[in-house]
Structure 1
Amino acid sequence: MKFLAAILLLIVAVAMADQDEDSWNFYKFQFGRKHSPKDEAGRRRNFIARQRRIEKHNREHAEWQMGHNKFSDMSDDEKLALLGANPVIRRERLVSAEASLPVLDRALPASIDYRTDKCMQPIKNQGQCGSCWSFATVVPLEFNTCKKTGTAVALSEQMMVDCDTGNGGCNGGMYDRAWQFIQGKGGVMKSSAYAYTSGSSGLKGTTCKFDSTAIGAKVSSFGWTMPYPNQTVSMTYLQSDGPLPSAIKVLDSLYNYASGVYSDPACIVADENDVAHAVVIVGYGTTTATTTVPATPYWIVRNSWGTGWGLSGYFLIKRGVNMCNIESWTAYVRVV
């Protein structure tokens, strides 16, 4: 009997190894992965480990699903390079809390979704550079400038990476400091005049090439949504002031988010400064209850990891519980 059991285990192991190899080869084909012989074994191990986590999660959770993407064979260090939110301490944030809650002339709607608004620029990709903060900086400026002028505009993240010495380029930064820099500089340039290169060419911040003749937007004022964390306050600002940048804690599972409303008990944290990635809230809503999953309030969040990640570059995250600190770091900006 022991011999037969050993044979059976061997057969199962061989079958799993074959299945893993097929999955690995399909992944490389699907995502155009070509590795050197030196890197192949390590990349394959990363992928197989990720495959196991995805399978386990999707068996055990119905509220949101994981899937493979360009991050599935990356090392932990490579994924950490995609983060770059470096917030200031809370005392400094309180000093800037001068604005009061906007007074709306109508009740808050049940949902808001700016993803398809004509003033929302296409999803962008920060690449292997911790410049998420610069992408979060320009999204509301693009949106609000378009609303004011009636003309869509794409703004330069690279200008902040290269020129904003108050932030750290690919080593991280924060959108409030970037807005302050833009105010002092007289505006932010259009991306057509200052294209993004840090994530694709390996140029992680070069000599500043600021040109005042190519300015596409100017900052009038900005601030933190107060009081915080408060979903109603953030919803109010979202309606009155457009998309709201925020900073979040990132668990390893988020890299392979595929669909549904993201949540994790480990991402409800006591330390409000435990954040590492800048994103932008562009809407909210509530799911329809099913027999297996209750109705869940959510934020619609724009990321800067390209359209091949999540919901074509966006994700949903549970609203009203300060998931991953997202309701502690919402900020608004107004344009000239």
Structure 2
Amino acid sequence: MKLGCLYIFIVMKTGFVLVTLGLASLALMGLFTDSSNQFEHQFTSYMTQFDKSYETENEYNFRREIFNKNLEIINAHNAKGFSSKLGVNEFTDWTDEEYKSMLGLRRQPLRSSQTLKTIKAKGEPELVSIDHRNEGLVTDVKNQGACGSCWAFSTVASIEGAYAKEHGELKSFSEAHLAECDKFSGGCMGGWMINGLLFFTQRGPITDEEYPYSLPLGTCREAELESNYESLPYAFRVEDDEDSLYEALTHNVVSVSIRAENDKFRHYQSGILDEEDDCGTEIDHGVTLVGYEADGDYWIVKNSWGGSWGNEGYVHIKRRGGKGICGINQDSAQAVFHQEDY
């Protein structure tokens, strides 16, 4: 015990706290036996897993306390046997304010006065499984970083799906292009997916290889680059109900809005978010609906927080009526090439 504590103290005094194999080995040898030291071991293992380091002893202690609090929330939830399971991720040592900064859905005045077509259900649908990942319409999970640009990632995912379906080739388009150049949105301060889609009805997208995403966001570089892709013909809204959302999904991926400012979404790891999770309906985050699983009756949703979050970057949300679990039935939109298909 003393050796373990002394080791931590020596590392702290260097002014830069790092996880080392030596400390992890001491923990694994059983030198930490009480609950406090078990938390210590879990925290150091967490730091190793997510490559965390802290510059001062105060910062280390501050982040450890946040981690311990969140770990108690995670363990308490998992002990109740819910259909969803929570786990640690790169946000487990973040403050609530830092986490909230990534939730950038902001409804704003429409950038166009045109009347937008609304996708509506054609009666009660016959529900069968859909997974647009298997159809080559979904790029790999991306990571928006510590920035409220979720709206841009959701928008671009819809554009990627529409172009892949139209041209038979999946391209990874630039979120930075949209986040830096759409004057109707606020970049890391938030935006709205329908305005993002309308942005692309006025110009073609640019690949993220040509216009890479990096933080902090900068000034628009659109004038320096030339898009090799046509502008989007249409941007459609989706009626706010679960049948209309399914109808839209039968055509392609959908930009959707959810409530993410809650512990259940923040720490989600696997399983299905349903009524037991009570994640709220006041939408604040943009994600992408890519599929529906009939065996389990749940939506398959792509997030933009990297592959280490959730179920390899995805979350499963139970299909329900009203505003939907986590508010998913509200405020959805889709990129469209052929309106006669609807």
Report the TM-score, using the length of structure 1 for normalisation.
0.83
8 Å contact from structure 1 (residues 136, 279) kept in 2:
yes
Cα deviation, residue 78, structure 1: 1.0
Secondary structure in 2 aligned to 1:161? helix
Which amino acid letter does the alignment assign opposite residue 50 of structure 2? F
CA contact under 8 A between 2:119 and 2:244: conserved in structure 1? no
Q: 1:88 to 1:166 in 2, by over 3 A?
A: closer
What is the CA distance between 1:335 and its match in structure 2? Answer: 3.4
Match for residue 29 of structure 1 among 38, 45, 48 = 48
- 1:184-203 matches, within 5 Å, as 184=202, 186-198=203-215, 203=216
Amino acid at match of 2:37: D
Matched residue, 2:185: 167
Letter in 2 for 1:267: C
Is the contact made by 1:225 and 1:233 (CA closer than 8 Å) also made in structure 2? yes
1:15-61 deviation digits (Å, cap 9, x = unpaired): 11111111111111111111112310110001111111111000013
* Mapped pair 1:285 → 2:293: yes
Secondary structure in structure 1 of the residue aligned to 2:34: helix
Shift of 1:286: 3.7
1:73 counterpart (90, 93, 98) = 93
Q: 1:100 to 1:335 in 2, by over 3 A?
A: closer
Is 1:218 the counterpart of 2:231? The answer is: yes
- In the other structure, the counterpart of 1:237 is 248
Return the match for 1:84 from 89, 97, 104.
104
State the match for 2:9 in structure 1. none
Gap change, CA 1:331 and 1:301, over 3 Å in 2: same
* Residue in structure 2 matched with residue 46 of structure 1 by the alignment: 66
| Identical counterparts, % of pairs | 28
Unaligned runs of 5+ in 1: 1-12, 288-295
Q: What residue in structure 2 maps to residue 205 of structure 1?
A: 218
> Aligned letter for 1:234?
L
Deviations 1:272-319 (A, max 9, x none): xx21100011111244xxxxxxxx421110100000011111110111
User: Which residue type is aligned with residue 238 of structure 1?
Assistant: L
Return the alpha-carbon distance in structure 1 between the equivalents of residues 122 and 112 of structure 2.
Answer: 22
Question: Matched residues in 1 for 2:34 and 2:172: separation?
Answer: 51
Match of 2:278 in 1: 266
The corresponding residue for 2:330 is 328
Q: 1:100 to 1:29 in 2, by over 3 A?
A: closer
How does the TM-score come out when normalised to structure 2?
0.81
Letter aligned with residue 157 of structure 2: V
CA contact (8 A) 1:155 1:189 kept: yes
Equivalent position of 1:249 in the other structure = 259
| Long gaps (5+) in structure 2 | 1-31
Match of 1:182 in 2: 200
Deviates more, 1:140-149 or 1:43-52: 140-149
Amino acid corresponding to residue 302 of structure 2 in structure 1: R
Give the aligned residue type for 1:305: W
Letter in 2 for 1:220: P
* 8 Å Cα contact 1:218/1:335 also seen in 2: no
In 2, distance between residues paired with 1:299 and 1:163? 31
State the AA in 1 paired with 2:76.
Answer: K
Change (3 A) 1:93 1:56: farther
Distance 2:111 2:328 in 1: 19
Indicate if the aligned counterparts of 2:119 and 2:236 stay in contact, CA closer than 8 A.
no
Q: CA offsets per residue over residues 98-143 of structure 1, 9 Å max, x none?
A: 3454779xx7452111233323111100001100000011112111
